[in-house]
Amino acid sequence: MTIDEIIDNFEFLDDWDDRYRYLIDLGRTLEPLPEAAHNDANKVRGCMSQVWLETKVEPGPAGEPVLHFLGDSDALIVRGLVALMLTLFSGRTAKEILAADAMALFKRLGFEQHLTPQRSNGLRSMVERIKKDAAQSLATA
């Protein structure tokens, strides 16, 4: 599923209970994160729930780093937010990741008004971690 399909599906749902159910369903589609990747190095700091992101970097066609992510959370809605993040960022070049405005997407989807402050902070922490990994991949390329 693409990010545009997720946005269309999300905007089609008027009721926030339905939108939360959709997020939970998205979380169920995540590729399983290996148990060994549930470690301190992959843990995202700043999230109230447990969140892990594993980053793999490979050279793209033009030699620019392309990042692939696997993720998981111990909370259902947050797991859905992880799925949304991975759809937005995984498989993209480091420059595309750094240029992406994830917070504008979250504002468009109404997360500012409908997520708790703790979940909003966790979402920002995930974005910061992904962008940090992208910046590091460029620095070492």
- pLDDT per position as a tens digit, 30-88: 999 999 999 999 999 987 889 999 999 999 988 899 999 999 999 999 999 999 999 99
Is this prediction's pTM over 0.75? yes
What number of other Cβ atoms are within 10 A of residue 67's Cβ? 22
Specify the fold of 3-140.
Answer: Sufe protein. Chain: A (3.90.1010)
Find all residues with CB under 8 Å of 3, minimum gap 6, and list them. 84, 87, 88, 105
Per-domain residue ranges of the chain? 3-140
Q: Tell me: pLDDT of 119 over 90.
A: no
- Residues designated catalytic: 47
